[in-house]
Each structure stands twice: as C-alpha cells, then as structure tokens.
C-alpha cells in the first residue's frame, strides 16, 4: 500500500519535514483556504504540489474537496456548486492528481465529545460519549423535538451526565462539538449550528440519498474525463446526529451508492473506525466485498463501549475490528489489480486519529492529528502489512498438494 500522512497545509503545526521522518511517502491534503463551493485554480493546486515535492514527498490523495451544503439539501446554489466541483475535478486531473476523498455528511462532519480521554498508559484518545452528545443536544443546543430522537434510557443517561458534570466539563463538551473541521476556517457557534440544522427541516434519509445520487450522476462523468477516482468517506459516527440523516453508514448504503452511478470513478474510502463504530457492520466482510471499489483507506480502530453507542479511538491494531484481516483483504486486492494489469493497483492508506503521546502533549495540534500518535500507528500498520504480504507470498509459492489415487 502507499503509506501516507494527513497534512493540513502551511498552517499545520506538524511540518512536512517531520512527516518525512515518519516513513510516510505520500501526503493527503486539501486547499483549505479556498471557500467551499469555489473552483480550485490550477495555479493553487500546482503551488501546493511544488511545496510537497520540495519536501521529498508526493501529493497522493486529495482530502477533501468539500461538498457545498446547497448540494446536500438541494438549495438555490446547488447547480453552480456542482459545476464548480466538476471543474475542480478537471483541474486536479490536469495536475496529475488521481484520487479525491469526500463525504456527504450534512452540517456536522466527524463528531466527538471528548478530545482528551485518558488512557491507562498515560496518553489520550478521542471519545464519543453518546450520553454527553445527547446532553448537548437536549440541554445546550435545546433542539426542538430532540426528545423524540432518544429513548427513555438515553434521556435518563443524558440527564445524569448533565447533572454530574461541572461547568468546565460542560464548556469542554460545547467547544468539542462546535470545533469544526481541522484545517478549515469553518466552525460553529450555537446560533450558526441551529441555522445550519434548520436548512434540513423535512429532509429525511431518502431525500438526502436522492441528492447524493443526483450529485454523483452530475460529477462522475467529469471525474471520468479527468481520470479521477472519487472515494466517499463513510459517516462518522454512522448514526443520525441532531436529527440529521446519514446515508453512508452501512453495507446496504455502500451498495446503494455504487449502484447509483456505476463507474470505475465512483468508489469508496474504507474508514475502518467509522464503519466499526456500530456493532452491526462486519468491516472485514465489507472490505472483502467492496475491495474492487476501495481507492483509499483510513486504518484506525475504535472500541465500542457497553451501551453500544459510545466508543473511543483505540490504537490502530487494537479495537473492535480485526485490523490484520482488513489489511490482508486490501493487500490481496492490490495483488489482484497487479495480476489484471490495472494501472492504479496501489491503495493509499493513512493512520488516522492517533493518540496524544509523549511530545504531542506539549505541542499544539489538531484534534486527532498528533504527530507521535500517528507515527506509532503508521509503524504498527506497516508491520502488519509486511507480515501479511510475506505470508501471502509464501502461500503462493507453496506447491499445491497432489491428490493420492
């Protein structure tokens, strides 16, 4: 696999020179300074490519070209935003970039309730506490009709969390929920979050799915023209949040997505941690089933907690998903692509959401994107990949047993 590292551009406290020391050879980045919905100019793309190339690395994956909210809820700027997205894909293809990761999560991207969940070893992880999330929704955001989205037990746990939390914990929860995306200028306060949610009044999962299908039918031809592989990122976590539907959460969702616009350009980002955040997803089986459509992999892991809705970011090779089996399925797919003579045989992967460890605790960083924690994860994943690759090679060289007459 192609070993990559997420970098949020010149303002990222983790530098390209530091990433070079992690054994990553590829960079995953985006032009975060360009507003959502605007065309990425070729000169800006090439400027970023040159910066990465001068550091001895390559720009391997674009993550992400954000989807304008008007595309998701079919607003008045929808057609203009789609046309601009298609032109950005053409510009990226013109510059030699081949893989674009994106997501279709309304308003809120990946969501956590705790940036610094303590680990037994002394480091910290990110965590999603469903009771804390519900408490924010019910008692901070005070969303209309929020109570109907939670069971009686959910509401009781949320109330208990709220009553036992001090002011500092409540403030930290609010800050974490509203923090926005790493590397992005976009963030929320309570009023702007409420306004964003209001745009989706009356939009259910079926409507959002239709809007995603319409987007794919419009932009996949441009991606084909540009030689771009689109790789959608699943919902994180894969469940409705704040009354918003989620439509890339399950095996059935992925099947619907691929059937909506069949094309080599319409593919998947395998995020092990996202799909693994609900117990009903068999992530190993999904990797095997959709292997031909996986163009990018986020290899992180989570451990589900007793309520089945909360989780914390575990180390990359621990957690609820058998990472060795996932990597074996990806390596097997790469071998198939090489046998079949496919040009894009290598699957870029990156360690995602590393723990805060050692010097990470004394330097500024984006939530989930600590340097040492991700470097540890990359080393673990590369070791598993090497072992799997050699084992598969040995099995292929072993002669088949002869049947005795």
Catalytic residues, by residue number, are 233, 271, 298, 352-353, 369
Closest CA to 184 of 30, 39, 77: 30
Residues 112, 176 contacting (CB under 8 angstroms):
yes
Contact (Cβ atoms closer than 8 angstroms) between residue 109 and residue 77:
no
**Element holding 297 (H helix, E strand):** strand 294-298
Tokens of 66: 């954000």
Q: How far is CA 191 from CA 108, 168, 176, in A?
A: 14, 21, 16
φ, ψ of residue 256 to 5 degrees: the values are -60, -40
Nearest to 254 by CA among 226, 227, 279, 282: 282
Phi and psi angles of residue 303, each rounded to the nearest 5 degrees, phi first: -115, 120
Q: Residue with structure tokens 């117990």?
A: 279
Residue 308's CB: how many other CB atoms inside 10 A?
Answer: 11
Distance CA 279, CA 303 (A): 10
């Amino acid at each position: 696999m192609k070993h990559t590292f997420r970098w949020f551009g010149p303002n990222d406290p983790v530098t390209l020179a530091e990433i070079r020391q992690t054994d990553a050879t590829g960079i995953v980045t985006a032009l975060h300074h360009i507003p959502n919905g605007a065309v990425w100019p070729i000169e800006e793309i090439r400027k970023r490519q040159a910066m990465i190339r001068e550091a001895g690395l390559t720009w391997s994956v674009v993550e992400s070209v954000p989807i304008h909210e008007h595309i998701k809820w079919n607003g008045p700027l929808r057609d203009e935003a789609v046309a601009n997205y298609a032109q950005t894909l053409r510009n990226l293809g013109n510059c030699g970039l081949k893989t674009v990761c994106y997501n279709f999560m309304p308003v809120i991207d990946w969501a956590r309730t705790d940036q610094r969940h303590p680990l037994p070893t002394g480091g910290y992880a990110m965590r999603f506490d469903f009771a804390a999330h519900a408490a924010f929704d019910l008692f901070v955001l005070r969303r209309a009709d929020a109570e109907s989205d939670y069971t009686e037990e959910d509401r009781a746990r949320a109330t208990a969390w709220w009553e036992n939390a001090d002011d500092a914990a409540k403030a930290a929860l609010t800050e974490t929920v509203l923090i926005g995306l790493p590397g992005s200028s976009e963030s929320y306060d309570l009023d702007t979050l409420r306004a964003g949610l209001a745009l989706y009044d009356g939009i259910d999962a079926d409507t959002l799915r239709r809007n995603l299908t319409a987007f794919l039918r419009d932009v996949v031809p441009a991606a084909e023209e540009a030689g771009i592989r689109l790789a959608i990122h699943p919902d994180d976590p894969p469940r409705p949040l704040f009354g918003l539907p989620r439509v890339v959460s399950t095996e059935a969702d992925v099947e619907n997505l691929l059937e909506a616009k069949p094309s080599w350009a319409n593919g998947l980002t395998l995020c092990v941690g996202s799909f693994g955040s609900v117990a009903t997803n068999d992530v190993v089986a999904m990797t095997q089933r959709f292997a031909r459509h996986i163009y990018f992999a986020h290899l992180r892991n989570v451990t589900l907690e007793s309520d089945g809705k909360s989780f914390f970011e575990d180390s990359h090779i621990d957690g609820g998903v058998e990472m060795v089996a996932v990597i074996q399925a990806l390596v097997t797919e790469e071998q198939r692509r090489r046998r079949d003579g496919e040009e894009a045989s290598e699957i870029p992967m990156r360690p995602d959401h590393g723990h805060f460890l050692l010097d990470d605790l004394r330097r500024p960083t984006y939530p989930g994107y600590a340097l040492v924690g991700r470097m540890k994860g990359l080393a673990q994943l590369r070791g598993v990949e090497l072992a799997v690759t050699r084992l598969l090679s040995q099995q292929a060289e072993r002669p088949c047993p002869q049947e005795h007459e």
